[in-house]
Amino acid sequence: MRDRRSPVQRLFELHLPLLLIVLFALGPYVWMMMTSIKTNADIGAWPVRYWPDAFTTEHYHALLERTSFGGNLLNSLIIATGACLLGLGVSLPAAYAFSRYRFRGRRLLMTQFLVINMFPIVLIIIPLFVLMRNIGLLDTFIGIILGHSTFAVPFSIWMLTSYINAIPKDLDEAARIDGATTLEVLRLIILPVVMPGLVTTGIYIFVTSWNEYLFAMMLSGQNVRTVTVALQLFIGEFSVQWGLLTAAGTLIALPVTLLFLLVQKRLVSGLTSGAVKS
């Protein structure tokens, strides 16, 4: 359908509103990055100095040299990657089974996966904490990865099931006629076709795990501390170390931003492919 609006109408009805939305969304991040390169004098100045008199990287040097934030970044990377791999490893076979097979309790299980996401995660944090304490997984990578998987896997199964439903079953049947097993069909036929959806789901799990705070706070301690938990160390009872806090926030946002830039084509493809069912 051809857009009959004039360039001036498109400017005021489309482009300017979109620009305002983007500026509103990016404003806090720009302010955070600007604050991270201000001196302490500029940060505490009144009235507020939107543009600093001088730029500095002292907060980043202090953050990485005088604190354990570098190790916290590595911990979060390990946990988010582990949760992503575990979530995809469990979700893909489960989604294939829900998509291709009809068995008793299938609809009930799918409904339960959806219902789990309707409840606040705070309701399961205490039982999960007791469980991890009893089996000795508190303050370990495995414990936090398993904790993050509890809320990532159900939604991931729903996402991947919709992607696999869009793949014609004729591909499976043709592969089985040629002698392929179920695992071979999943690995050689389904996996390459559903890869955009797999990337989208993997990004969802990674970002959710990377930004998660409550599970990481309850299940971690001195040995394994994620960046979201480490941020609270810069907030004291009577003062806030704004330079270190904003520098840490900038470093936390950097990996996720780079990840989106690297896989943006597959991400857009994955988001659109699951929306249309063949």
User: What is the percent of the chain where pLDDT is above 90?
Assistant: 12
41-50, 77-86, 152-161, 162-171: which has the highest mean pLDDT?
77-86
- Residue 161 domain-assigned (yes or no): yes
> What are the tens digits of pLDDT across the range 13-27?
778 888 899 889 888
User: CATH number, domain at 162?
Assistant: 1.10.3720.10
For the cut 50, the answer to whether the pLDDT of residue 203 exceeds it is yes
Q: Is there a domain that residue 264 lies in?
A: yes
Number of domains into which the chain is organized = 1
In a domain, 40, yes or no: no
Assess if residue 53 is contained within a domain.
Answer: no
Whole-model pTM over 0.85: no
Residue 2 lies in a domain: no
Indicate whether 264 pLDDT > 90: no
- Amino acid at site 273: S
User: Which bin fits 139, alpha (ψ -120 to 50), beta or left (φ > 0)?
Assistant: left
Mean pLDDT of the chain: 83
Residue 151: inside a domain: yes
| Any domain includes 91 | yes
Q: Roughly what angle, to the nearest 10 degrees, separates helices 69-100 and 242-273? A: 20
Q: How many CB atoms lie within 10 A of CB 48?
A: 8
Least confidently predicted of 94-103, 168-177, 253-262: 253-262
Q: Quote the domain boundaries for residue 183.
A: 67-273
Q: What pLDDT shows up at residue 172? A: 84
Q: What percent of the chain has pLDDT over 70?
A: 93
Residue 14 included in any domain: no
Band (2; pLDDT cuts 50, 70, 90): low
**Can you tell me the distance from the alpha carbon of 7 to that of 5, in angstroms, rounded to the nearest whole number?**
7
